[in-house]
Chains A and B, each alone.
Chain A
Amino acid sequence: AQSVTQPDIHITVSEGASLELRCNYSYGATPYLFWYVQSPGQGLQLLLKYFSGDTLVQGIKGFEAEFKRSQSSFNLRKPSVHWSDAAEYFCAVGAWSGGSNYKLTFGKGTLLTVNP
């Protein structure tokens, strides 16, 4: 079964600083990888996704992520953080089980605080 680890529960950065959120996954084949963002009390919004091809993917709001197969990682980055980026971020892996059952498995999330 697949699993996702987000090692950092809470990260604090200053506005304008760079950001990297870590995500490690466990899955036997090439996974489908996602990053979602959640504002307090809201649903999840997709930031970016990786299925195949170029390992550096661009997303919305200036975010990017890089798939590294050798490290089983899919870290999220942003060169300059804005105060509005404060939220909780979830990494997810999509995978098949039992031949026809597809599901997403989520990490436990990283809460981002942005200091002015």
Chain B
Amino acid sequence: DGGITQSPKYLFRKEGQNVTLSCEQNLNHDAMYWYRQDPGQGLRLIYYSQIVNDFQKGDIAEGYSVSREKKESFPLTVTSAQKNPTAFYLCASSIDRGARGGSYNEQFFGPGTRLTVL
């Protein structure tokens, strides 16, 4: 089955430690995204990548880093510089970055990773 997988589902870390969240997709999508979700805040964009070896900051990139070495993988590292890392993290992908006039703007989401920093 094609889809997006995120691992682990639950993650616990001590304050001050870096942690990396995994996101893999087998949909052959070009674009991938990371969102952070907090209660009552909706989804906020952290980073996105429209093509391999390229990525851009979203609205709340501070304290996070990403890499895009392979088309199917877009890992997110939550660094110790992120002041309030406890949240639900969602990865998404789309066919491409959103061709004008096309239906490629739809994003597909993974099941999420809940990160708790103790």
Contact = CB atoms under 8 A, between A and B. Distances in A.
B83 to A, nearest CB: 21
Contacts of A56: none
Interface residues of B, number: 30
B15 interface: no
Q: Size range of the interface on A?
A: 20 to 34
B102 to A, nearest CB: 8
Nearest to A102: B98
Nearest to A49: B106
B42 interface: yes
Contacts of B44: 106
Chain A interface helix/strand/loop/mixed: strand
B98 A96 contact: yes
Interface string A18-43: 00000000000000101010000111
Nearest to B4: A43
Given A103-B48, A106-B43, A44 B109 contact: yes
Interface of B: 4, 6, 33, 35, 40-45, 48, 56, 58, 88, 90, 92, 97-98, 100-101, 103, 105-112, 114
26 contacts: A9-B40, A32-B98, A32-B105, A34-B106, A41-B114, A42-B111, A43-B4, A43-B6, A43-B90, A43-B109, A43-B111, A43-B112, A44-B92, A45-B109, A46-B107, A49-B106, A51-B103, A101-B97, A102-B97, A102-B98, A103-B45, A104-B107, A106-B35, A106-B44, A108-B41, A108-B42
